[in-house]
Structure 1
Amino acid sequence: MKKNNSKLLSIIATVVMAIVSLIALFPIISMVLSSFIPSSSLMRNGISFSFPWSELTLSNYTYIFTQSAEYWTWYGNSLWISALMIVLSLFFSSMVGYALAMYDFKGSNLFFVAVVFILMVPFEILMLPLFQLMIDTMLIDTYLGVILPGVVAPVAVFFFRQYALGLPKELMDAARIDGSTEYGIFFKIMLPLMGPSLAAMAILQGLGSWNNFLWPLLVLRSNDMFTLPLGLATLLTPYGNNYDILIAGSVMTIIPIVILFLFFQRYFISGLTVGGVKG
């Protein structure tokens, strides 16, 4: 009887989760289908739940691949910035989080409290001081101006610290006895053990950087340096909307995030769960 009840509950849970997943995916499915509708039809009818199946065409994608050089410039900018942001953020944030977790030094608790405090501060409050700093350092309209404020992200530092608390300190003592330096311990022993946390944070940082709109909007000025969200936003003007690029281009923006998630998905859940319960 218990087995039957358990099996029934499992089936119900599966059906409910499948329905919820379909509801969550419906906007994406709607956008993908809309990307195959001619721009004239989109301007006339908008994005709706009923699709003119007879009008489906590849013209929007043909336009992107053959006549929209600026779109691929924005795409390349976003890829370049996101890749740098992921690499630099993982490198520096993991070092800071590891140090806060594994070393007892004067002021370590104060540093951690500062990290938690910054986590509670909305970015909009920090935006103007950061913008003034970019002006003073002449980093306006540069990639560095977009990347540097997010290199050591408080959420990443907190996450890596929580994960590193679960690492065995005995490995550090053994490595010291063998003559390894502190940097050698981190890069050769501890960092590989933090692989799941690195994969999980790579997805989160990549997603945040790829979709970032507000900060690049403040820093970047030149059209050829725009990221993809900024570039697509310029297509919506009071004088006309270029739906040929806007809808199909929005669908194309999903591809890098999907690839990133598929590449790191095996570590994603374990990295989040272990990093979330340690401490």
Structure 2
Amino acid sequence: MKEERSTWRVSTILLILLFIALAVLAIFPLFALTLASLKPSKELLRFGLNLKIQPDVMSLKNYLFLFSASAKKYFIWYKNSLLITGLYTVLCLLFSSMVGFGLGMYNFKGKNIVFTMVLVVMMVPVEIIILPLYKLTIAMKTINTIAGVILPFVVAPLPVFFFRQYVTGLPKDFMDAARIDGCSEYGAYFRIMLPLMKPAFGAMAILQAMASWNNFLWPLIVLRTDDKLTLPIGLASLLTPYGNNYDILIAGSVLAILPIFVLFIFFQRYFISGLTVGGVKG
């Protein structure tokens, strides 16, 4: 027994050390980026990203510039990204969860075929369908609009698959009880089943919001004017053949991390439980 306990303690300590090392590796780029955002552009060009703390050259000038009138476009891009990410996340979770719920809770003809199609779409890179999506966006007259960025991906295969897997582990007795009480199918979903799916919603909220926030290719194709650009595109526009504003770019990138960081803080409990439970159901 003592040998088993000592072995368990050693393995636990080694596991903790491993996770600490992984955490340091994950934090390292963020720390280097934060230090770089406090330095002038000439220091970045000379030494690149590093962990040197130089109080004599470090200041908040880059951040003060972002909050000045000269950089008003930055917060327009920030607002556009927040709006697109918020709308996309809400709509994607709503419609994808309904599709996944239907595939997991109901039995109907062609159910397995539909689910197989979802799996096939998951394996198709988005770059392959960019051209037909672009033609569809032109036909719908949604070029240079928020709708053009959101609508083509509002029902995503990954959330559909995840919600379907999660729903298959929920007891169908709740639905039967709701029907007996005279509740409609939509009423049973929103009042009974949706609260039971909170962990799945928390996990997918973080993943889909992060994907939308960092999305570059599709908004770059759809959006045309400066006042419609999202943050990743706007920050990329700071690098031109006529000058590279690395100091402003890095400071803007640090501020761009904050929404996803705050989102994860609020939903981390649901994120962990959702991935754990949803990954083994079905």
Q: TM-score, normalised by structure 1?
A: 0.97
Q: Tell me, what secondary structure is at the counterpart of 2:107?
A: coil
Residues 220 and 226 of structure 1 are in contact (CA less than 8 Å); yes or no, is this contact kept in structure 2? yes
In structure 2, how many angstroms separate the alpha carbons of the residues matched to 1:19 and 1:93?
A: 37
Q: Which amino acid aligns with 1:199?
A: G
Structure 1 residue corresponding to 2:272, chosen from 269, 272, 275: 269
Tell me which residue corresponds to 1:130: 133
Q: Distance in 1 between matches of 2:56 and 2:144?
A: 45
What is the TM-score of this pair, normalised by structure 2?
A: 0.96
> 1:6, CA displacement in angstroms?
1.2
For 1:15 and 1:44, locate their aligned partners in 2 and report how far apart those are by CA, in whole Å: 35
Q: Distance in 2 between matches of 1:124 and 1:266?
A: 33
Task: Return the alpha-carbon distance in structure 1 between the equivalents of residues 6 and 249 of structure 2.
Answer: 51
Q: In structure 2, give the amino acid aligned to 1:143.
A: I
Which residue number in structure 1 is paired with residue 66 of structure 2? 64
Of residues 120-129 and 36-45 in structure 1, the stretch that sits farther from structure 2 once superposed is 36-45
Task: Show structure 2 runs of 5+ residues with no match.
Answer: none
* 1:154 correspondence with 2:168: no
> Does structure 2 conserve the Cα–Cα contact (< 8 Å) formed by 1:39 and 1:60?
no
Letter matched to residue 8 of structure 1: V
Residue of structure 2 in register with 1:11 after alignment: 13
Which runs of no fewer than 5 residues in structure 1 stay unpaired? Answer: none
Deviation string 1:257-279 (CA, Å, 9 cap, x unpaired) is 00000010111111012111111
Q: RMSD value over aligned CA atoms?
A: 1.1
Shift of 1:147: 0.4
Native 8 Å contact 2:35 2:51 kept in 1: no
Q: Does 1:203 align with 2:197?
A: no
Single out whichever of 202-211 and 269-278 deviates more from structure 2.
269-278
Which residue of 2 is the match for residue 188 of structure 1? 191
Cα distance, 1:50 vs structure 2: 3.7
Q: Which amino acid aligns with 1:25?
A: I
CA drift of 1:48 comes to: 3.2
1:3-40 deviations in Å (ceiling 9; x for gaps): 12211221121112111211122111100100000223
Please say if 1:236 is aligned against 2:239. Answer: yes
Instruction: Check if 1:171 corresponds to 2:174.
Output: yes
Deviating more after overlay: 15-24 vs 263-272: 15-24
Structure 1 stretches of 4+ with a deviation exceeding 4 A read none
Q: 1:73 is matched with which residue: 64, 72, 76? A: 76
Worse overlay, 207-216 or 43-52: 43-52
Indicate the residue corresponding to 1:221 in structure 2.
224
- What secondary structure is seen at the aligned counterpart in 1 of 2:79? helix
CA displacement 1:125-184 (0-9 Å, x = unmatched): 111110111111111111100000111001010000000001110111111111111111
Counterpart of 1:258?
261
Report if the CA contact (8 A) 2:40-2:58 is conserved.
Answer: yes
Checking the alignment, whether the CA contact within 8 Å between 2:36 and 2:247 is kept in structure 1 is: no
Cα distance in 2 for residues equivalent to 1:143 and 1:245: 26
Query: Does the 8 A contact of 2:137 with 2:143 survive in 1?
Result: yes
CA contact (8 A) 1:115 1:158 kept: yes
Give CA-to-partner distance per residue, 1:179-219, whole Å, 9 cap, x none: 11111110000001000000100000000000000000110
In structure 1, what residue type is equivalent to 2:188? I
Identity %: 56
Q: Which residue of 1 aligns with 2:144?
A: 141
How far apart, CA to CA, are the structure 2 residues paired with 1:248 and 1:270? 34
Does structure 1 conserve the Cα–Cα contact (< 8 Å) formed by 2:219 and 2:230? Answer: yes
1:43 deviates by 3.2
Q: Which amino acid aligns with 1:213?
A: F
Q: Structure 2 counterpart of 1:10, which letter?
A: T
1:233-256 Cα offsets, whole Å, 9 max, x none, are 000011101224201000001100
Q: CA deviation at 1:51?
A: 4.6
| Count of residues paired in the alignment | 279
